[in-house]
Chain A
Amino acid sequence: MSNESNVIISIEPWRKPLPNIDKDNEAFFEGLKQHKFLLWRCKKCGANYWPKAFCQNHENEPFAANMDWAESSGRGKIFAFNRHQMVFHPGFKDEVPYCYALIELDEGPLVSSTLVGDRLPKDVYDVGQKVEVVYEDHLVEGFTLPRFRIVD
């Protein structure tokens, strides 16, 4: 793995469950590949959603025509996290312990992923740190996963 500030490139074969890419989130995963963190945004009121949904603030045009994917800051705060220590799946054998966190994005929605980098919270009471998205490119399989790291 090579590691820049917010990009991790992996050429290792993926031995874990594959990301579930479907009709609703394929644009989101395409955005990740371009190193953009997209949110599903209402063009009328600017409310942000993730995953894809109808805007709850007003009547929607047919099939949420008032909604579109839009680039977000990719920044937020740690809302809660846990530290996995048991190996549930053989693909994670060399990865435990890992911090799996709920991130409250600056735009509002919650998103979850693991924390990467040297700075990790010390215990479950230690929340609220600012984080930003890190793009983990898997070149063999051709997908990108979002991770988060603590920033100042």
Chain B
Amino acid sequence: MPKHPSSGQYAIVGLGVVAGQQPDRSERMIASEAARLAIADAGLTTRDIDGAIDLRRTGGGGDRASYVDAYSRMLGLNNCFYFVVGRGGALAGLGIATALSFLDRGIAKYICLMGAVTDWSQAQESRKAGHRGMAHAEKAGYWGKALGDLRAVSHHSWMAARHMAVYGTTSRQLGAISVAERAWACKNPEAKMYGRPMTIEDHQNSQVVADPYHLLDLSLVSDGGIAFILTTADRAKDRPKPPVYVLGQGFGEVSADLWWEKKNFTHMAVPRAKEQAFGQAGLTLDDVDCCEFYDCFTAEVLFQLEDYGFCKKGEGGPFVESGAIGPGGSIPVNTGGGLLSCYHLGDLTGMAESIRQLRGEAGEHQINDCNVVLTTGHGGELISPGMCSIHTGTLLGRHQ
């Protein structure tokens, strides 16, 4: 399949990760540190960076940047423009698409893309007032808040419930996703759940949060920051680390149909994103060595496996139960532990893991001969009851 002229012409050359609980650090200091690490990893200095993008949740998270928390100012990126990109947990994919237009026209040479959160620290504070989970993240304005629609799980669990009702999927099958990701996390010292193996019985015995979802169907609440440096392929060759090439990108939107389209509760907006990304890259599903899927909850992984075509629609349950996505499986998914077991920094979690896999830096969780990774993002405002969400699919490669 012929690829698009832009495929492989841009590359990631630096990665910076600040992981783990950061109770004594502000979001902007975490952000600045992640950016500093990424710039150093690329063998560059702050003077080389001529574009800075802040990857922020909008919609569900509702976070807003202001002049005081521009990490570019904190870090002294003086030769630089700065702005905010993001929609829900879809951050890195959108950031790359945006950055390419600056690199393409020679407006910038090296762009730093960074996202940071202090969700864990904030959750500890709101817990003192009797709240559980990310009380700060679901802003006023949602239809269901007065009715008890208080957290992402309050409405995302409908997707699991509907898939179960339509296709006969079981809680144990959803749990198999959680177990597989935990097995990956136990190979990743950076993961929150490293050293804490779990079984399907642990999943079944974990607290029911919003039936059908148990606690172990939910992603983690985290602090941290991830930054990466994007440049053109010709510049990338001179950097110290192996370049990670952007091979293709695609975007889908559930409101492409109708935003209360009932299919949204058993499908994600994958088809158009898949066609665009694989079309640009000139690749097929068989070329993908591992997937870093956005996994805010277990059902989102199931939907993406089906919607990308790793198994048939409705057959995701038996597919994951067979061990297909865990270590040693036919299609490794969320090889660092994902949002479920590593940490939740939006789609930056999967982006960082993709970069490490393609550089061969993933240690014990390294996939053999990893050449192509599919990494996705998901998110958006909820105009309840419609799941109004974007899907981003990015194909990254070790070779141009």
Give the distance to chain A from B156, nearest Cβ to Cβ, in Å.
9
Shortest 10 CB-CB contacts between residues of A and residues of B: A90-B130, A83-B211, A80-B162, A112-B385, A88-B150, A82-B157, A17-B145, A124-B161, A19-B146, A82-B210
Q: Is the CB of B132 within 8 A of A104?
A: no
Number of chain B residues whose Cβ lies closer than 8 Å to a Cβ of chain A: 43
- Taking beta carbons and an 8 Å cutoff, which residues of A are in contact with B? 16-20, 22, 50-51, 56, 79-90, 92-93, 95, 97-98, 100, 102, 104, 109-114, 124-125, 127, 145
Asked, given contacts A80-B265, A102-B265, A112-B155, whether A88 binds B165 with beta carbons under 8 Å apart, the answer is no
B133 within 8 A of A: yes
B154 touches A100 (CB 8 A): yes
CA distance A19 to B140 in the complex (A): 9
Contact A90 B260 (CB under 8 A): no
A80 touches B161 (CB 8 A): yes
How many pairs of A and B residues are in contact by the CB < 8 Å rule? 118
Residues of B within 8 A of A80 (CB): 158, 161-162, 165, 265
User: Smallest distance from the beta carbon of B26 to chain A beta carbons, Å?
Assistant: 26
Residue in contact with A86 in the complex, picked from B132, B165, B258, B386, CB distance below 8 Å: B132
Nearest-CB residue, chain B, relative to A19: B146
Distance between Cα atoms of A104 and B262 in the complex (Å):
9
Contact A89 B150 (CB under 8 A): yes
Asked if residues A87 and B132 are in contact (CB atoms below 8 Å), the reply is yes
Cα distance A124–B166 when bound, in Å? 10
**Given A82-B211, A88-B133, 15 other A-B residues pairs in contact with their CB atoms under 8 A:** A17-B146, A17-B150, A20-B140, A20-B145, A80-B162, A82-B161, A82-B210, A85-B210, A90-B130, A93-B130, A100-B144, A109-B260, A112-B155, A112-B385, A124-B212
Interface residues of B in 139-185 (CB under 8 A from A): 140-151, 154-155, 157-158, 160-162, 164-165, 168
What is the 8 Å Cβ interface bit string for chain B, positions 206-217, against chain A (1 contact, 0 not)? 011111110000
Q: Nearest Cβ distance between residue B98 and chain A, in whole angstroms?
A: 28
Residues of B that sit less than 8 Å from A by CB: 129-133, 135, 140-151, 154-155, 157-158, 160-162, 164-165, 168, 207-213, 258, 260, 262, 265, 383-386
Structural contact, A86 and B207, CB atoms closer than 8 A: yes
State which of B145, B146, B213, B258 has its C-beta within 8 Å of the C-beta of A82. B213
Contact, CB under 8 Å: A92 / B148: yes
Q: How far is the CB of A120 from chain B (nearest CB, A)?
A: 12
In the docked arrangement, what's the CA distance between A82 and B144, Å? 14
- Contact assessment for A79 and B262 in the assembled complex, using a CB-CB cutoff below 8 Å: yes
- Set A56, A102, A124: member contacting B164, Cβ < 8 A: A124
Distance from B343 Cβ to chain A, minimum over Cβ atoms (Å): 21
| Structural contact, B154 and A82, CB atoms closer than 8 A | yes
Q: How far is the CA of A22 from the CA of B142 in the complex (A)?
A: 11
A12: min CB distance to chain B, Å: 14
Residue of A nearest to B164 (CB): A124
A90 touches B131 (CB 8 A): yes
21 CB contacts below 8 A, A to B, read A19-B145, A20-B141, A20-B146, A51-B143, A80-B158, A80-B162, A82-B210, A83-B208, A84-B210, A84-B211, A85-B209, A86-B207, A86-B210, A88-B151, A92-B150, A100-B147, A100-B148, A100-B149, A100-B154, A112-B144, A124-B160
